[in-house]
Structure 1
Amino acid sequence: MLIQAHCSTLSPICLANPNRQFPIISRRAPFNVYRSNGAANWGLGRKKNRGVIVSASEGQSSTPNFPKKRKIVEHVCLLKSKEDLSDEEEQDMLDYLYTTQYQMRGIVAISLGRIGNENLHKYSHAFYLRFQRKEDLVKFYQNPFYLGILKEHVSPYCHGLLNVDYESEVEDDILPIFRKGEEFNFGVEFVLLISFVDNASDHAEDALVSLEGLLMGFPSLIVQSTRGVNFNLSSKEYTHGVVIRFRSFDSFEIFFGSSEYKDLWKSKFEKITQKTLSVHFLIQPVGSEIM
């Protein structure tokens, strides 16, 4: 099915030319490694706990056996780079940001890259981290290594940094928590920041639950999604955050070009949304992991 390029007034997503190529940034695997984010500390089993609905005619309960969930904390940082940023400077900045996962405890997943879509605020790069708990995020903001990276390898190249943080849940298993496995090695990372109008909390939750339900109906397109209330006081202009990992750019375009998504946005989000900011970037394998 051919998806026509369009920019809907009902949705924050603007689908550009499907033939446009994403900027691809290859990153070297870091070799100066002090600490890895080991999964053993979580005490997780490898067995999948998949939800199954058993027919009542078979003499069993028809109640779904939903997978057990584990709370996590999502961190999104958007950056505005200087216009004359060179490829070498960009590579240096992203390499150093990528190594933060090896320098401090609590980081369980990471992705970053050059944003592939235009946005009104002109953000150029995105940096995503997942933490075990809020306490780990607080330590991250205060960590001397991270502060040094910002000072020496980010601030010289970028300005207008935006941080959004929220709590969410994922399936309580190693692969979905740590975003490990082949299906997480490729795809498109999509970030949606939303500001709902005042006194719309109930309607906002209903809209987000409906979006989550729709996302679960497209497992062939989507690897994982999370959502939550933004608790970062420096960016309260956005009330909620959503992160979705698509399997490919085609998957990304098919979902946002679907009538199901457009109808959902029009019926659930349009009247209660004050403003939105959406960005996406391509995921590429980094190389051999050092554990």
Structure 2
Amino acid sequence: MSTVPSIVLNNAVKVPQLGFGVYQIEPDEVRGATELALDAGYRHIDTAAAYANEAGVGQAVRNSGIPRDEIFITTKLRNADQGYESALAAFEDSRRELGVDVIDLYLIHWPYPRHNRFVDSWKALEKLYAEGAVRAIGVSNFLEPHLDRILAEGEIVPAVNQIELHPSFQQADLTRYSAARGIAVEAYSPLGQGEDLNSAVVRRLAETHGVTPAQIILRWHLQLGHIVIPKSVAAERIQENIDVFDFSLSEQEVVLISGLESGLRTSGDPATFDFPQI
């Protein structure tokens, strides 16, 4: 079983650097997939209220027999639930769905900027943190202007900014901006929705190291210090994605992969993303 290193967040909480994402995994599939991930050695599970599968994640955690304090659970505040009181109520819904007393990391899922509620939502998260209901709080899909407001109007620096990040869409300025302020960068869609697996550079490096293209990209993320949350429902892929700690890329190989930037965004633009159900 692979041993996953941890990243120490800005409040000294440790998070396993490689986790298991459950975005777009159907509610009736997520329990089984999460159980496979826990069996493979994952100890960080990333879900969200918008995914409608928190209950299955919670059931898998209970079924695993692994002590609760050995599993790091992240979930997120849905856009339609933004606002101070509504965020507090939504958190209780997530805690109930997951069947846990404490959530390890709670994120605002999107800035949802046209509605101008994310600062009020952040203040609700700060309250939850002060009460010990969450071990760390952060944001997802926040750009520099959104982070600026949180830093100026809030009291706590976010522990994490979870963003779309993969070789062909690296958001280098945002990554540097976040890191410079002590905000850990977490990569979702780390393989570019599979598009980056077809890169000639990635495939050549996979042949060189005797691993898969996905493992090359995940290793790139890890060596750059990203928290990364690949997802799959296939047992062999779940295992493959965590078996990335017995090889390393050279500095030159990391640079080669970093040269694949093409601006290929595969998700919404946080500046304009305006869907309440997410």
- Taking structure 1 as the reference length, the TM-score comes to 0.28
Higher relative contact order (CA 8 A, sep 6+): 1
Provide the TM-score with structure 2 as the length reference.
0.29
User: Which structure has the larger Rg over C-alpha atoms?
Assistant: 1
Counting strand residues as a fraction of each chain, which structure ranks higher? 1
